[in-house]
Amino acid sequence: MEINVNESNGVAIVYLKGRLDLSSGTALKEQIKTLFNDEKIKIHLNLSDVEFINSSGLGALVSIMKETRLRKGRLSLSNLASYVQEIFDITQLSHIFEIFPTEEEALSSYQSIKIG
Amino acid sequence: MSNAVDQITDLLSRLQSPDFYEREEAVRNLGSFREDEAVAGLVMALEDPDMGIRELAGDLLADMKGDTASRLLVSFLGNADIGTRNLAAEILVRIGSEAVQPLLDDIDNPDYDIRKFIVDVLGLIRDDRSVEAICRKLYDENPNVACSAAEALGEIGSTEAVPALIGAFESVDDARLQAAEALGKIGDPSALEKLYEFAETDDSMVQYVVLEAIGNIGQAESIDRLKKHLDHEDRTIAETALTAIINISMKHGGKFDGDLPLDKFTEFLFEGIRNHNRRITEFTLGRLKHWYSQDVMFRLLDVLDSVEDDDRERISDILRDAGPSAAVSILERFAGNTITTKLTLLDVIKEFLDDDLAQRLIGFIDDPEPDVRQKIAHLLGLSGFTGAVETLKKMCSDSVGHVRSTAYAALGWLASENEIDFLFEGLNDKYSDVRQSALGALIVVGSQRVVERFTSDLYHDDVERQRLAVTALGMIGDADVVGPLLGAIDHPDSSVRKLAITSLGRIKSIDDPRPLVLALSDESAAVRKAAVTALLDIKGQAAVQDIRALLEDTDVWVRYHTIVSIGDLGVSSYAELIIPYLGD
C-alpha cells in the first residue's frame, strides 16, 4: 500500500492507495504515530484509492481512532469506495468514524471545530 | 333622489321591526346608501337588541368612514350602555384619520368619561394632528383623562410630545407613571437627561417605570447610568435596571461587552430563559461564553428542558466550549431530564469521552428510556474503555431490540478473543438487526477462532446463518478465510457459492484458483457471472482463456456480462473474440 501525507490548514491529510490489511494497517499505524509525534492530531484519511479492506485493516483504523481520541485529536475519513462503505456499515463503524463524501467537505468541517 | 329618501325612510322604519331578519336586512341595505339619513340609521342600529346586528352596523359604518358617521359615533361615546360606547369607540378607531377632527372638536366635552374615551381613541388612531390637543389634556382636571392622555401620546409616538410629557411628569402626580412610560415608547433620546434625574426618585414604582423607559429608548450611553441601580437594595429595581441594560444591549446587536455583576442576577437571568424571554435568553446565552462557574453550569442544565430546540443547541455548544468539567456536571444532573435533553447531553459528553466519563456513564445504563440506553451503549463503545465490556454484555440482554443491536456493535469495537462465544450468541437473536450487529462485531474482532466458527457455520442448519457466515468470512478477508471460501464454492446453496466467489475475487491472493474455473460451469447463472468477475480480478487477462467459453453460455446475462468484462480489459486483440456476438 502507498501512503502519502499532505497538510492543509493544520490538518494532516493521509492518502492511502491499495489494500488495507494486516501489513499495510501496521504501516499506516506507524505513519500516524509519526504524525502524533510531530504533534499533529487533526488527521484526515482519504480512502479513495483503497480497493480492499479486511478486518485487520479495520482493526488498524479503530486503533488509530482510539489513539486520536486519547490525544484529544480528531480523525476523519472520506471517499470510501462502495465495498469499503459496505463493510463500515455492516460493522457499524460508520457510526463511530466521521465519514465525509469528499475530502473538501471533511476539511471544511475542521474550520469550524475547536480541538484540544 | 326622492326615491332613495323613500327607500331609506322605509328601511329606517324596518329597523323597529320585532323580526330579526327584517332588521338585519334593513341594516344591510342601509349600508348601500351614502345619505346622512342612512348613516344615522346605521348608528341607531348600534343600539339594536341583537349583538349580530350591532356588529353588522358597526362594520358598515367603519367601511363608510366619513364625517357624518364620525360625528354621530362621537356622540355615542356618552351612551349610557358601556357596550354601545365601546362599540362606537372601536368603530371610530377603524375609521381612523377621518374621525380625528370630529373627536378633537369634542375633546373638551364636560363629561370626563367622554373626554377620556376621545383621548383613548385618538391614541389608538395614532394621528400626529391630535398631539397638541392631547398634550393639553395632560393637565385635565380629571386624573383619569390626564393618565389616558399620557398613554395616548406614548401610542402616537411623536417626539413633539416629549416636552409636555416631561412637564407632566414633574407637575402632574397622577400621570407620572404613564408619562415616563410614554417617553420610553416614544424613544426620543432628548428625554434621557430628565429620565436619569427622575430615576433618582425614592418612589420605587416610579423608579421602576423610569428605568424601563430608559431601556426602551435604547441608547448605549445609558448603560453606565443604569449600572449604579444594579446595586439597589430593592431587587425589583436592580432587576429592572438589568433588564433595561439587556434591552439596550440587544438593540445594539448584543455587542455591549462591559463588566456587569451578573453573578448577582443568575437566578433572574435563568428564570428569564425558563420563561422564554427572548432578550434575556439571547443576552444570557451570549455572555455565557465567558462565564463558566459550576453554578452557571448547573443552571444551564436546569433550563435545558424548558427551552426551544435552537436554544438547546446553543446551550449544548456552550457546554462543549466549557470543556470536560461540563461533562462531569452534566452527569451529576443527568437523571432528572427529559429524553430530548438527555440525548442532547449525551451528544455533549461524546466530545469529552474518556475512561473516567465512560465509567460514570455506566451508572445510567438502566435509564427508563430505550433511546437513552442505546446512546449510552454507543458512547461506551466509542470511548474505547475496555472496562465497559461487561456492561455492554449486560446491555446485549436489554429488553429492547435496538438497544441490544447497538450494544453488540459497541462490543465489537471493544471486544477481544474472550467475547467471541458471547458475540456468536447474538447471531441467534430474534431480530435481524441485532444479528447483523453481532455479525459486524465478529468481523471487527476477526481472529482465527472467529474464522473457525464461521467456517463451521457455513454448514449450519439455518440457511441464513450460512449466508451470514460466508458474508463474514469474505469481510474478515485475511489469508485464513481463503480455504473455507474455496470450499464454499461447492456449497449446496447458490447464494453462498456466489458470495464466496465474490469475496475470493476481492481477496485476490489465491494460490490455486482452479475451483473458480470450475464454478464457470455452475448450474446457477449468478454464480457463473460471479466467477467471471472473480477470475478477472485474480488473474487479469490470463483469465480470458477460462471465461471465453461463457460467451456461448445459455443465459443471455452471463453472455452479456462476459462480453462486457472482456471489453473492460481494453485489449484490442480481444475484439475478435467479441465480434462474432454482434449478432447475438
Chain B CB within 8 Å of residue A58 CB: yes
Tell me which residue in A55, A91, A96 faces B382 most closely, judged by beta carbons. Answer: A96
Q: Determine whether the interchain pair A91/B409 forms a contact, defined as Cβ–Cβ distance below 8 Å.
A: yes
B352-B358-B364-B369 Cα dihedral, nearest 10 degrees: 60
Structural domain boundaries, residue A87: 2-108
| Residue B521 included in any domain | yes
Q: Count the Cβ atoms, other than its own, within 10 Å of residue A28.
A: 21
Examine residue B516 and state whether it is found in any structural domain, yes or no. yes
Contacting residues for A55 by C-beta, under 8 A, at least 6 apart: B443, B444, B445, B446, B475, B476, B477, B478
A91 part of contact set with chain B, CB < 8 Å: yes
Measuring CA to CA, which residue among A24, A51, A91, A18 is closest to residue B472?
A91
Report chain A residues whose CB lies below 8 A from the CB of B439.
90
Domain count, chain B: 1
In sequence order, what are the beta bridge partners of A74? A42
The alpha carbon of residue B346 is apart from the nearest alpha carbon of chain A, in Å, by 14
Query: What's the structural domain count of chain A?
Result: 1
pLDDT of residue B514: 92
Asked whether the beta carbons of residue A55 and residue B436 sit closer than 8 angstroms, the reply is no
Euclidean distance between CA atoms B218 and B68, whole angstroms: 43
User: Has residue A114 been placed in a domain?
Assistant: no
- Specify the pLDDT at position B115: 96
CB contacts, 8 Å: A92 with chain B: 406, 409, 412, 437, 440
Q: What is the pLDDT of residue A74?
A: 93
Residue A37 has pLDDT above 60, yes or no: yes
pTM, whole model, 2 decimals?
Answer: 0.72
pLDDT of B292 reads 65
pLDDT at residue A115, as a whole number: 43
Q: Provide ipTM, 2 decimals.
A: 0.91
Q: What is the CATH number of the domain that holds A8?
A: 3.30.750.24
In a domain, B555, yes or no: yes
**What is the β-pairing status of strands A42-53 and A2-8?**
unpaired
Ramachandran bin of B414, using left for φ above 0, alpha for ψ from -120 to 50, beta for the remaining angles: alpha
Widest CA span in chain B: 117
Query: To 5 degrees, how large is the angle CA B523–CA B527–CA B530?
Result: 150
Per-residue pLDDT tens, chain B, 584 aa: give them. Answer: 458 888 999 999 999 999 999 999 999 999 999 888 999 999 999 999 999 999 999 999 998 888 888 988 998 898 888 888 999 999 999 999 999 999 999 999 999 999 999 999 999 999 999 999 999 999 999 999 999 999 999 999 999 999 999 999 999 999 999 999 999 999 999 999 999 999 999 999 999 999 999 999 999 999 999 999 999 999 999 999 999 999 998 888 877 667 888 888 999 999 999 999 999 998 888 887 666 677 888 888 889 888 988 898 888 888 888 888 888 888 988 988 899 999 999 999 998 888 999 999 999 999 999 999 999 999 999 998 999 999 999 999 999 999 999 999 999 998 788 999 999 999 999 999 999 999 999 999 998 999 999 999 999 999 999 999 999 999 999 899 999 999 999 999 999 999 999 999 999 888 899 999 999 999 999 999 999 999 999 999 999 999 999 999 999 999 999 999 999 999 999 988 888 888 87
Helix (H) or strand (E) holding A49: strand A42-53
**Which domain, by its residues, includes B513?**
457-584
Cα B97–Cα B101–Cα B104 angle in degrees, nearest 5: 115
Task: Answer yes or no: do B382 and A114 touch at CB < 8 A.
Answer: no
User: What pLDDT does B409 receive?
Assistant: 95
Q: Is residue B377 part of a domain?
A: no
Contacts of residue B163, defined as CB under 8 A and 6 or more positions apart, other chains included, come to none
* Contact list, B436 vs chain A (CB under 8 Å): 90
- Return the residue of B nearest to A70 by Cα: B354
- pLDDT, one tens digit per residue, over B493-539 is 999 999 999 999 999 888 899 999 999 999 999 999 999 999 999 99
| Nearest C-alpha in A relative to B441 | A91
Q: Under an 8 Å CB criterion, which residues of B touch A?
A: 321, 353-354, 378, 381-384, 406, 409, 412-413, 436-437, 439-441, 443-446, 471, 475-478, 506-508
Residue B68 DSSP symbol: H
Q: Does residue A25 lie within any of the structural domains? A: yes
Judge: B475–A87 Cβ closer than 8 Å, yes or no.
Answer: yes
Interface probe for B, chosen from A92, A97, A113, A115 (most Cβ of B below 10 Å), is A92
Dihedral class, residue A31 (left if φ above 0, else alpha if ψ from -120 to 50, else beta):
alpha
Cell of B514: 482452479
Query: Per the domain annotation, does A30 fall within a domain?
Result: yes
CATH number at residue B518: 1.25.10.10
Residue with cell 410630545: B161
Count of positions (residues) in chain B? 584
Mean pLDDT of chain B: 92
Q: Which residues of A touch B441 (CB under 8 A)?
A: 91
pLDDT recorded at residue B288: 76
Query: What is the structure's pLDDT at A116?
Result: 38
d(CA B71, CA B105): 9
Contact A55 B508 (CB under 8 A): no
